[in-house]
Amino acid sequence: MNHISDLREDYTKHALRAADLVADPFTQFEQWFTQAEECELHEPNAMCLATVAANGQPSTRVVLLKGFSNQGLVFYTNYESRKAIELESNPRVSVNFLWLPLQRQVNITGRVERVSKVEALKYFVSRPFASRLGAWSSPQSQVIASRQILEANLDQMKRKFADGEVPLPDHWGGYRIVPETFEFWQGGGGRLHDRFMYRRDDADQWAPARLAP
């Protein structure tokens, strides 16, 4: 494993200057996300979500962004999962999007709020049949004795909802991340990366500032 310290890549594809930025970080994020899609990156909506438990222990996992607007970023989960339990006790989060082929990252911090039942239902019915069954079959984050338990649960749900109508579980829904900061990171040569942080100023306007790499 000694070779790990020798793994490195110089990032020279792009630069990010203040003149390249738009005033609104939501628009800036949308532009970068669109470029990631246009480059046909695999799952550009994958984001690493960090939460903190009541005892101060952080945890991370990758979730999928399923909605984005000026109100925030939306993802869905089981409300009885570890992440949801941590979010209910501490709604402060951060997420990271890593788009390596573009040598870019976006870091966003903020607070979460639950989306409405109507919004959750609208998304839930758009999911594939197997995914809707999975929401009913898996006690997410709970200890189970074997995979056979999951498969038995799934078989039971297949029989229960054989007509194809799968209702929204009470324990399943979405969260909206309401951003407080955005950081746009563009890899640079010699590790002189370009970083810009947006925060709201005293006039409640978004103000970008360059950060040292």
The mean per-residue pLDDT over the stretch 101-111 comes to 97
Least confident interval from 6-10, 26-30, 197-201 = 6-10
Residue 191 annotated among the catalytic residues of the structure: yes
Query: Cα separation of 51 and 83, whole Å?
Result: 7
Q: 125: closest CA among 179, 69, 187, 167? A: 167
- CA 188 distance to own-chain centroid: 25
pLDDT value for 48? 98
From 191, 195, 200, 210, the catalytic residue: 191
Query: Cα separation of 153 and 144, whole Å?
Result: 12
Query: Cα separation of 199 and 207, whole Å?
Result: 6
pLDDT value for 6? 81
- Residue-wise burial string across 83-120, b where 16 or more C-beta atoms lie within 10 A, e elsewhere: bbebbeeebebbbbbbbeebbbbbbbbbbbebbeeebb
pLDDT digits (tens, 9 = 90+) for 70-88: 999 999 999 999 999 999 9
CA atoms within 13 A on the CB side of 85: 12
Amino acid code (one letter) for 210 = R
pLDDT value for 7? 84
Evaluate if residue 2 carries a pLDDT over 80.
no
Domains annotated on the chain, with CATH: 12-125+170-211 (2.30.110.10), 128-167 (no CATH)
Confidence bin at 9 (pLDDT 50/70/90): confident
